[in-house]
Amino acid sequence: MPFQPNFEAYCPKKAATIAAKLVGHFLNYFALGKLPHMVITDGAEVINLGKFFSDNQQRNDVKVIDIQLDPIIGPSEFQIYHVLLHKQLKFLEGGNHWMFYAGNERVAYQEQLDSQLGLKYVGENSDCVYVGLVTGSYLDGHVNQERTNFTFGKDRMAEIHKAAIASAKEFLGQYIDRIREQQVETTSRIIRDNPQFLPFRDALPEFVEKNLSLNTQGDEEIFLELSRRKLRAKRQLDGQLRSLKENGPDSVQGSVEKITKALNDEKKSSLAEYVVRRKAILDLLDSSLAFKEPEKRRYYKEEVIHELIVPLRSSSEELDYNQHNLWILDDRLAFYSFFRSDKPFSTFTEGDSGREPDLAVIFEPSLAFRREGSDEPVVIIEFKRPGRTEYDQNSNPVTQVLEYVDLFRAGNAVTDKNGRVIKPITPATRFVCFVIADFTDNLKKVLRYSVASHPTADGEGFFGVSTEHNASIEVLPYSKILHDAKVRNEAFFRHLGLG
């Protein structure tokens, strides 16, 4: 009899495909083995469905497990039938892997296992699904009259299912071990890229086994789990430290040595995160010194580099010390607590000069810093556009920074935004001035007639002293700034495996 037109386009035509669909639809009954004899006949082709189910099993096993459900009666015995079945026969209810629970020769409960196992297709050719069947006298004695569910509660079902899953994982061990190896590899790579998680590296397989479900396999999921565990460890450590401070060593569970180790691990991970951040900043600076448009030999403007080292038009009231990258120029500058970037002198000195670096016109943004509570000099830094060639005696950067020194001295003192004096400017106040620029012939010619005409020891820069201003000046190329910063940090990068 032909199919109705509405169904003909969707119904499989081959007998084997129809057999697979039938087995998949009634998989719970086939797994139980309680079916009448059924065959499919298509002309000369005859398929016995029971034999078809058996022939499509790649591997099977039976395990007997004891589960302690009642302390008075003792452990209950269960039989678990494990089967790897070709995927064409998978259960049509959805998902790949299933566990069936039978009472009195009928499946009364079933549960999809995909998320619990974390497996896709398994088997020698990755073309099989897992089917488990749990039977036992305990289930026979607690199935309802209709044999559609069990009479015990969800907690008891969870106990039985936990033991069944453990047996299934043992049966599927080779595939699960493969996932664990991949998880360890992925987690290790994430830790290399994000060394704030370094404390987890020493016992990585144990961490993965304990904290990552088999279904947690993506980079983002593993990163989130590492972050979650790091946060919980920090909260626990903070609580222990508070208790230790308030109530003494006897108040804290675990030895003080363990707490000290956890504290050191936390410090190491924070330092490692800081080092990785430095590496990324230097890589970004390196790329910013290249041509923006190679065909036109056009460089990035110095605002890009300025913004990378310290944001334009910012101040120390707006940024914490770890939000700028002055360490690129000199590690001592990393902790200077007062600075102004692209601000008029009248806003941070007692003078009335409205002069400020004319970024929009001549691209000469300047920075001024001092380290509070010390006799450190005031530091002035001037950036010039990479690749700039237009220099003459009227645009001498050494003259420019010395004019800035004059403006500082005319202002008598450096003040914060509320007018509080941060540092008096006296004749004895020293200034250290940096000019950062690409060395071109015109720039070298201008420097030859300035106070900063002396080559540095490595021959890559120039320096000089203006006794009149009580100021020293260094003129350094961008390439030297980048190279020196890399050298100063190279040992840290190498220790963390950062290429």
| CB of 141 closer than 8 Å to CB of 156 | no
Q: Report if residue 38 sits inside a domain.
A: yes
Highest average pLDDT, of 208-222, 370-384, 483-497, comes from: 208-222
**Percent of the chain whose pLDDT exceeds 70:** 73
pLDDT at 361 over 60: no
Higher pLDDT: 367 or 101? It is 101
Give the model's pLDDT for residue 364. 32
* 85-99 tens-digit pLDDT: 888 877 766 788 988
Of 435 and 316, more confident? 435
How far apart are alpha carbons 460 and 443 in whole angstroms? 13
Residue-level pLDDT at 56: 83
Q: Work out the pLDDT band at 356, boundaries 50, 70, 90.
A: very low
Domain boundary among 171, 189, 222: 171
Least confidently predicted of 231-245, 274-288, 351-365, 374-388: 351-365
- The whole-chain average pLDDT of the chain stands at 78
**pLDDT at residue 468 in the model:** 92
> 456 in the Ramachandran plot: left (φ > 0), alpha (ψ -120 to 50) or beta?
beta
Q: What is the pLDDT of residue 363?
A: 26
Query: Is residue 68 domain-shared with residue 146, that is, in the same domain?
Result: yes
66 and 136 fall within a common domain: yes
What is the predicted pLDDT for the residue at 381? 84
Is 472 a residue whose pLDDT tops 70? yes
Rounded (10°) angle between helices 204-211 and 219-247: 100
Residue 43 placed within a domain: yes
- pLDDT at 461 > cutoff 80: yes
Average pLDDT over residues 227-238: 78
Total tally of structural domains belonging to the chain:
3
- The pLDDT of residue 131: 87
Same domain, 155 and 190: no
166 and 307 inside one domain: no
Domain coverage including residue 138: 5-171
Helix, strand, coil share (%) of the chain residues, nearest 5: 45, 20, 35
Q: Are both 166 and 193 inside the same structural domain?
A: no
pLDDT mean over 432-461:
90
**Residue 259 pLDDT exceeds 70:** no
* 296 within some domain: no
pLDDT category at 432 given cuts 50, 70, 90 is confident
**Domain shared by 443 and 324, yes or no:** yes
Q: What pLDDT is attached to residue 246?
A: 62
Please check whether residues 370 and 247 belong to one and the same domain: no
Q: Tell me which of 163 and 53 has the higher pLDDT.
A: 163
Taking the C-alpha atoms of residue 134 and residue 131, their distance in angstroms, rounded to an integer, is 10
Mean pLDDT of 482-490: 87
Query: What pLDDT score was predicted for residue 71?
Result: 79
Q: Which of 267-271, 284-288, 362-366 has the lowest mean pLDDT?
A: 362-366
- Contact between 414 and 428 under an 8 Å Cβ cutoff? The reply is no
- CATH number, domain containing residue 147: 3.30.230
Q: Look at residue 452 in the predicted model and tell me its pLDDT.
A: 93
